[in-house]
């Protein structure tokens, strides 16, 4: 996996899919999905402040969403896109539909901790921030998230490349709860997913998402952990395409 993984894949025809990566990594995390989306127009930007854009200051979640909006206007077919986000990317995607509803054809988010992080999960995260610039910490993280062996060095390098200030600011924004206020003007499909084996803070966000966008459907992905795009890339990509191609949500969703 290359740190300079391309932003654009496929010819700009049909409808564009935008994939927003999680924290501590870069757009290269989407390589398994891009391979399975051959023939589609896919944009995989580095989020501002991460990977190839690590030198750029973190603009806040709203600013990161505005940055993605600018990319969609410039490079997506007809200036609109299906948006998919994981973890931090999922939180940014929610801010995107709240701020720029006209740009989003459909939205699929997984691991979106919109109403904050509580209890032991938060205490552990605060401790992790203190070890941000330590290589041993990133080795431990790669094992915890079950990052494949051939991607672990890239994961470690990407994590250590993010400035401690960006990490502190971004994570505390999420830890404190970043759900946009009020009802969204966005009326398109919105699927919110939690892995069965990930932190309960993701499921706690479901009611807030339904209140902001009543059309929201929710699903617990069986046996999946937080980064299930890598754990089961076939299932992940099928789930995305079901929403993109027909607004179909997984069996058992609410």
Domains of the chain: 8-246 (3.40.50.1820)
How far apart are alpha carbons 56 and 49 in whole angstroms?
5
Helix (H) or strand (E) holding 129: helix 119-130
pTM: 0.90
CB of 8 within 8 A of CB of 75?
yes
Structure-model confidence comparison of residues 111 and 128, the more confident one? 111
Q: What is the pLDDT of residue 163?
A: 83
Q: What is the pLDDT of residue 140?
A: 67
Confidence of residue 133 (pLDDT cuts 50, 70, 90): low
Query: Closest Cα to residue 131, out of 141, 117, 120, 122?
Result: 141
Asked if pLDDT for residue 111 goes beyond 60, the answer is: yes
Asked if pLDDT for residue 253 goes beyond 90, the answer is: no
Structure-model confidence comparison of residues 24 and 73, the more confident one? 73
Query: Closest Cα to residue 22, out of 52, 53, 46?
Result: 46
Asked if pLDDT for residue 127 goes beyond 90, the answer is: no
**Token output for 241:** 């395409």
Structure-model confidence comparison of residues 73 and 133, the more confident one? 73
How far apart are alpha carbons 78 and 41 in whole angstroms?
12
How high is the mean pLDDT of the chain? 90
Q: Which residues of 74-91 are buried (b: 16+ CB within 10 A; e: fewer)?
A: ebbeeebbbbbbbbbbbb
Q: What is the pLDDT of residue 152?
A: 74
Asked if pLDDT for residue 108 goes beyond 90, the answer is: yes
Q: What is the pLDDT of residue 251?
A: 73
Confidence of residue 247 (pLDDT cuts 50, 70, 90): confident
CB of 18 within 8 A of CB of 74?
no
Q: Mean of the pLDDT values across residues 217-229?
A: 95
Q: Mean of the pLDDT values across residues 124-149?
A: 66
Query: Closest Cα to residue 113, out of 196, 204, 41?
Result: 204
Q: Mean of the pLDDT values across residues 168-187?
A: 94
Asked if pLDDT for residue 167 goes beyond 70, the answer is: yes
Q: How many CB atoms lie within 10 A of CB 241?
A: 18
């Amino acid at each position: 996996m290359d740190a300079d993984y391309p932003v654009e894949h496929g010819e700009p025809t049909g409808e564009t899919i935008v994939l927003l990566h999680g924290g501590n990594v870069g757009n290269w995390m989407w390589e398994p999905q891009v391979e399975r989306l051959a023939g589609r127009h896919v944009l995989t930007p580095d989020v501002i402040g991460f990977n190839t854009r690590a030198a750029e200051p973190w603009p806040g979640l709203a600013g990161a969403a505005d940055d993605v909006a600018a990319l969609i206007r410039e490079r997506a077919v007809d200036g609109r896109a299906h948006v998919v986000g994981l973890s931090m990317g999922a939180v940014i995607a929610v801010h995107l539909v709240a701020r720029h509803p006209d740009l989003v054809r459909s939205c699929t988010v997984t691991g979106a901790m919109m109403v904050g992080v509580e209890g032991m999960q938060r205490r552990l995260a605060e401790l992790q921030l203190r070890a941000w610039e330590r290589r041993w910490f990133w080795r431990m993280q790669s094992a915890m998230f079950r990052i494949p062996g051939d991607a672990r060095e890239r994961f470690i390098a990407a994590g250590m490349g993010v400035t401690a200030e960006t990490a502190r600011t971004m994570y505390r924004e999420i830890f404190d709860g970043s759900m946009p206020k009020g009802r969204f003007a966005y009326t398109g499909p919105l699927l919110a997913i939690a892995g069965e084996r990930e932190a309960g803070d993701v499921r706690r966000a479901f009611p807030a998402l339904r209140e902001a966008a009543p059309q929201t459907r929710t699903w617990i992905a069986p046996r999946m952990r937080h980064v299930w795009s890598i754990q089961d890339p076939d299932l992940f990509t099928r789930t995305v395409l079901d929403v993109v191609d027909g607004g179909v949500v997984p069996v058992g969703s609410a």
